[in-house]
């Protein structure tokens, strides 16, 4: 399958090189393109990304994660559109897992999974792994859909059908909003073995409990009320129903 890998990036000069190196190390014979969306960075994100062979850098001056995601969707050409964060590192077998899954589930419109954390301490890794296994399978079974924004793959035809991403959703909850809108079109799969290596930096700077609580609330709120719990990336006050 042809996959377009979209990497939204805002001031990710320190992380984007390792992310792209992990993509270059993939032993995948299929067809894929890599597009880095420079979302009005003030550092050398675009310059660093542009040094990597086969990487196309596209500027999106309007800040906002969903705007960067939408720009990547518009610029891409793949039958499948995949999104990964700039601070992630792709493990071996990622493409193959996605290809096998969509081949086995022709009615699936998207695939996502949890994270492991390449910069977490052993105790942080243990807590975060337990949090994933205690919450995600049950939530997915109850709700019937789930997307984790750090990495997911979507059929282009499904994105076409829903008109892409909702710019009104600024940051938190945008992945659940997407999953909710995709769900009527087909299976929105979440596999616990489909893993990305991500950074634990937000848990370190904002606290383990607080960060997990914000993520949980921004999963529940779009499911119940059709909009995120928080108004923006920096504003964690609720938008009450």
Q: Is residue 119 part of a domain?
A: yes
| Enclosing domain of residue 94 | 3-225
- 106 three-class SS: coil
End-to-end Cα spacing for the chain: 41
Q: Count Cα neighbours of 39 within 13 Å in the Cβ-side half-sphere.
A: 19
Give how many domains the chain has, as a whole number. 1
Q: pTM for the full model?
A: 0.93
- 108 three-class SS: strand
Least confident of 12-26, 181-195, 211-225: 211-225
Pairing of strands 55-59, 32-38: parallel
Q: Is residue 236 part of a domain?
A: no
Q: Is residue 214 part of a domain?
A: yes
Q: What are phi and psi of 57, to 5 degrees?
A: -105, 125
For 70-119, the pLDDT digits (tens) are 999 999 999 999 999 999 999 999 999 999 999 999 999 999 999 999 99
Q: Is residue 237 part of a domain?
A: no
The stretch 232-241 carries a mean pLDDT of: 41
Q: Is residue 233 part of a domain?
A: no
Q: Is residue 159 part of a domain?
A: yes
**CATH number of the CATH domain containing 37:** 3.90.550.10
**Contact (CB, 8 A) for 233 and 191:** no
Q: Count Cα neighbours of 231 within 13 Å in the Cβ-side half-sphere.
A: 6
Q: Which residues pair with residue 58 across a beta bridge?
A: 37
Q: Is residue 66 part of a domain?
A: yes
pLDDT at 236 over 50: no
pLDDT at 240 over 80: no
pLDDT of 170: 83
Q: Is residue 27 part of a domain?
A: yes
């Amino acid at each position: 399958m042809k996959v377009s890998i979209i990497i939204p990036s805002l001031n990710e000069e320190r992380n984007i090189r390792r992310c792209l190196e992990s993509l270059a190390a993939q032993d995948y014979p299929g067809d894929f393109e890599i597009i880095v969306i420079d979302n009005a960075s003030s550092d050398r994100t675009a310059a660093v990304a542009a040094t990597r062979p086969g990487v196309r850098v596209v500027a999106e001056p309007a800040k906002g994660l969903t705007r960067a995601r939408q720009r990547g969707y518009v610029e891409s050409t793949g039958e499948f559109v995949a999104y990964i964060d700039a601070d992630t590192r792709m493990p071996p077998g990622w493409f193959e897992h996605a290809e096998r899954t969509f081949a086995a589930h022709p009615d699936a419109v998207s695939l996502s999974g949890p994270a492991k954390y390449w910069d977490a301490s052993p105790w942080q890794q243990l807590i975060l792994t337990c949090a994933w296994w205690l919450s995600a399978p049950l939530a997915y079974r109850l709700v019937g859909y789930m997307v984790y924004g750090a990495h997911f793959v979507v059929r282009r035809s499904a994105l076409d059908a829903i008109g892409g991403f909702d710019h009104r959703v600024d940051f938190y909850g945008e992945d659940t909003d997407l999953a909710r809108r995709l769900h009527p079109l087909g299976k929105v799969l979440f596999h616990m073995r489909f893993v990305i290596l991500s950074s634990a930096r937000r848990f370190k700077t904002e606290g383990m409990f607080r960060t997990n609580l914000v993520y949980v609330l921004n999963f529940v709120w779009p499911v119940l009320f059709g909009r995120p719990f928080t108004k923006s990336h920096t504003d964690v006050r609720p938008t009450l129903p």
